[in-house]
Structure 1
Amino acid sequence: MRSDALKMTLINLRHLINLISLKIKVQFRLPIFETVHKLLIFNKISGNLYKVTTGYQDDFKIK
């Protein structure tokens, strides 16, 4: 009986540690994700500006 309670306590403690480490990972990854997202948007906008200003056209054939 006592060993079962100890096992449950250890399992709960392990879950708590996993949750805390996951929260820490998410908190560090969110700013990185936001930065990458902004860079991707900037890259798309600058790519579109390049296409417009240089007269670049894709080889799309209209049927």
Structure 2
Amino acid sequence: APVPETAPVPETAPVPETAPVPETAPVPEIAPVPENVPVPEIAPVLETAPVPESEHVPKPAPI
């Protein structure tokens, strides 16, 4: 029997070109980190003024 011709293969539909990928926006350079501002030295702690002894110490009431 005559061999049936194979059906013509349909051409594959043309693949749509993918849309061009937009270039990523340039990343802004990070602003330079300012060098640590010198920490001001802590002012010397004033010695606590001597507490004046109360001149009139109440004497315990005589029993």
TM tier, smaller: 0.3 to 0.5
Structure with the largest fraction of helix: 1
TM-score (norm 1): 0.33
Q: TM-score, normalised by structure 2?
A: 0.33
